[in-house]
Amino acid sequence: MNNVKSNILDEINSLKNQFNKEFDKIINISDLNQIRVNYLGRKGFVSSYFRRLGEFSVEKRPLIGNELNELKKYIEEKLKEVNKRLIQIEKTEKRYDITLPGFKRFIGKKHPLTMIMEEIKSIFSFMGFEIAEGPEIETDYYNFEALNIPPGHPARELQDTFYLTNNMLLRTHTSPVQIRIMEKTKPPIRIIAPGRVFRRDTPDATHSPIFMQVEGLYVDKNVTFAELKGIILTFARAMFGKDMKIRFRSSFFPFTEPSAEYDFLCMFCKGKGCKICKGAGWVEISGAGMVDPEVFKFVNIDPEIYSGYAFGMGVERIAMFKYQIDDIRTFYENDMRFLNQF
């Protein structure tokens, strides 16, 4: 009889273990209902043990009955708790349709202008130029005056400007960085200044009110125009290959004297004239020249001792030329079909 008693208590205990195992596998309300029926239902495990109580002596029944009641309470409690949690989860899931297809994630990559900019920087770094930076919101002084463009000077009209309040403006070129660097550095100075510039231009295939330039500046004793041409040619060949040719045309900038505009040979037609260069055979890159002595006066560098060259560079132009893109606006539209091609 003792054995029978310990056996039934063992059985009740292993029923509890079995319940716990199945309980851990519940993932939804229908699992839960199934387990409830199996254990607590009229024909369930717990009821079947209650029905067997009669097999045991009157003294033993209370102990076994008590054990069964404890188990029943235990199971009820655990099911109640998981029921609460499942209802909560199903409520939130109904707010989303989890059968809809997900969003495809794409792998990011560098913007073509970023890639060109990095290439330009690395070529000039290799030639000993340091990278300098200046603010995009500039003062009239740095953007114009110290570059020998006083108020009312006609050169201001070539650079339609976004004026802000208090003599501040969005820089129209990277040339103000020349002044900022020369103000606080003694020659020799050899820098490039990459960055964004702004002009009040109506966008079209070749104009964008925001674009990028790289300024170059070299100031030292005995710097010559020949060196300027040499550095531009070296850059052009590093960027586009050893067959590249360059061309300087005389021009005017208030902050360089003499001044030039420079072109790269059109790599697509080798100068014959094609769609890319619009028949010219050459692609215009930017302006350049020897730093005007008037500019040196603004930054207290003695033009009797020092000379220097400066150049600009239109980054979009180089990118358009390199990638054969015929509309500058595509760089700024953020259309993945375009950007994915590079």
Residues making contact with ligand PHE (CB under 6 A): 173, 175, 253, 256, 286-289, 310-312
CB of 216 to ligand PHE, least distance (A): 7
CB of 123 to ligand PHE, least distance (A): 18
CB of 197 to ligand PHE, least distance (A): 7
Cβ proximity to ligand PHE, 218 vs 253, nearer residue = 253
Strand runs labelled E in the chain: 130-131, 137-139, 168-170, 189-198, 210-220, 246-253, 256-265, 282-291, 307-311
CB of 172 to ligand PHE, least distance (A): 7
Q: How many Cα atoms occupy the beta-carbon half-sphere of 275 within 13 Å? A: 4
Cβ proximity to ligand PHE, 49 vs 308, nearer residue = 308
Cβ proximity to ligand PHE, 266 vs 288, nearer residue = 288
Number of neighbouring beta carbons within 10 Å of residue 290: 18
Cβ proximity to ligand PHE, 187 vs 254, nearer residue = 254
Number of neighbouring beta carbons within 10 Å of residue 8: 20
Number of neighbouring beta carbons within 10 Å of residue 168: 14
The sign of the CA dihedral 103, 104, 110, 112 is negative
Distances in Å between the alpha carbon of 26 and those of 35, 131, 278?
Answer: 9, 63, 72
CB of 286 to ligand PHE, least distance (A): 5
Cβ proximity to ligand PHE, 19 vs 253, nearer residue = 253
Query: Cα–chain-centroid distance for residue 30?
Result: 47
